[in-house]
A and B are shown apart, each in its own frame.
Chain A
Amino acid sequence: DSGVTQTPKHLITATGQRVTLRCSPRSGDLSVYWYQQSLDQGLQFLIHYYNGEERAKGNILERFSAQQFPDLHSELNLSSLELGDSALYFCASSVDRGGNTIYFGEGSWLTVV
């Protein structure tokens, strides 16, 4: 158990819908990272927040957005969902803004039908 909690673990939704994935970082960690893992793309970095502020953006689509709240939990919002958005979405956390050690949650399986 890494200490990073993600909900929901599994989600099935229809195209065009909107979903929210939630992440609670490890106690004391200020950074939250979101990654998308699909069979053909591997693990893709989406976005990084540190202490409530966006620090870095990766290959995140405009239909996707994220935020980190004052209590440090984070949400990833995915809208206008397409079949190709089906993937495993991981949240990870670290204690600092760019540490060498980040810890991954177990992921949220999203299936768009």
Chain B
Amino acid sequence: TQLLEQSPQFLSIQEGENLTVYCNSSSVFSSLQWYRQEPGEGPVLLVTVVTGGEVKKLKRLTFQFGDARKDSSLHITAAQPGDTGLYLCAGALVDSSYKLIFGSGTRLLVRP
């Protein structure tokens, strides 16, 4: 059972379209991160959101953390072929230790 559910799993869109990727859980996270991974490479951190309701923008990417800190979304405006990749959300569980739990990922293809 995945602690973090990402949807959709696959997304193929035309250049210029908008899209939203969702990351949902029944668990509360102290923070949530979004990563982008290219084939054969490690995930690269895009953003970290910490506060419930927080919204962060990174050029054409908008990230939102849910009020209850259980879910997050990534919205891409006017997608470009360079946005193609695997997008991963990861939630940080902090008690006596620190664990970063990853979602299953959304594979995005932006067609020219």
Contacts and interface: CB of A to CB of B under 8 A. Distances in A.
Interface in B29-51: 31, 33, 35, 40-45, 48, 50
Contacts of A42: 2, 102-105
Interface residues of A, number: 26
A90 B90 CA distance: 15
A90 B42 CA distance: 7
A56 interface: yes
Interface residues of B, number: 25
B41 A107 contact: yes
B104 A101 contact: no
Interface in A32-74: 33, 35, 42-45, 48, 55-56, 58
A31 B41 CA distance: 20
B68 interface: no
B28 interface: no
A20 interface: no
Given A43-B102, A48-B97, A55-B97, A100 B42 contact: no
A102 B88 contact: no
A33 B100 contact: yes
A100 B103 contact: no
Contacts of B35: 104
A81 B45 CA distance: 31
Interface of B: 2, 31, 33, 35, 40-45, 48, 50, 88, 90, 92, 94, 97-105
Given A104-B43, A104-B44, 16 more contacts: A4-B42, A43-B105, A45-B99, A45-B100, A45-B102, A48-B98, A55-B98, A58-B99, A90-B42, A97-B98, A98-B92, A98-B94, A98-B97, A100-B48, A102-B100, A107-B40
